[in-house]
Amino acid sequence: MKRYFIEVAYNGAAYAGFQIQQNANTIQAEVEKALLIYFRTSVPLTGSSRTDAGVHALQNFFHFDASFQIDINLIPKAIYHLNAILPNDIVVKSIKQTNSNAHARFDALYRSYQYNIHLTKNPFKDQTSFYYPFKLDIALLNQAAEVLKDYSDFQSFSKKNTQVFTYNCTLTKSVWATQLHDLVYNVQGNRFLRGMVRGLVGTMLKVGRGKYSLNEFKNIIESKSPTKTDFSTPSHGLFLKEVGYNDDIFL
């Protein structure tokens, strides 16, 4: 039995999320279906990072155990055929053999996300960016983003009914950047809670518009309550950008 990591990217608009669900189509369901067709045997997958309905990924991973042999020289051929089977909004980018105990979720060192906002109307960005035609103070947005790195408990930015043992996350990057008429929030951390990035973005936008002061923003974090957190930012602006691993888990 050998273990493999399969790297994927996808447009999440048509899916109910990353992880397999009953009575709903997901990224995992489509990839498992393609593997079944190609390898002619069921290949259960374990995901690295769950993304919600409508959220996209430039990079995400599954791992799977294969009772069958995958010739390393034929991996490019396997990738080609899997992509021919998969719908156009999902792509397999790589398949790599790993150590037998490597785990796509637990061995991830970090995840990084980006949230895209366009400030002027643009019909070509409606599936991958949030149209937000309001005046924003970028300096205030970045002050709020920097504040986040001083905290570890993000219960205020976790949606209710989330079954987790801890709300602690370590953020190593949190910054807003402008690109012509676009605004991008980049955040990197060891883990993220359900709805966390969208909650951070929505609440910081209120700081950028002057609806919350920086002190009020800090109070929301310290309250450990999501009652004043704004989760209304739409999913289509959010991308899982990268999942990082130590190179030594790959053979």
Look at residue 103 and give its three-state secondary structure: coil
From the candidates 52, 71, 89, 230, give the one annotated as an active-site residue: 52
Query: Was 113 annotated as part of a binding site?
Result: yes
Residue 90 buriedness (CB in 10 A; 0-12 / 13-18 / 19+): buried
C-beta separation of 182 from 118 below 8 A = yes
Phi first, then psi, for residue 63 (nearest 5°) are -120, 155
Residue 52 is among the residues annotated as catalytic for this protein = yes
- Can you list the alpha helix ranges (DSSP code H) found in 131-240? 138-147, 196-208, 214-223
**Which residue from 71, 99, 82, 87 is spatially nearest to 2, judged by alpha carbons?**
99
Catalytic annotation, residues: 52
Binding residues for substrate: 113
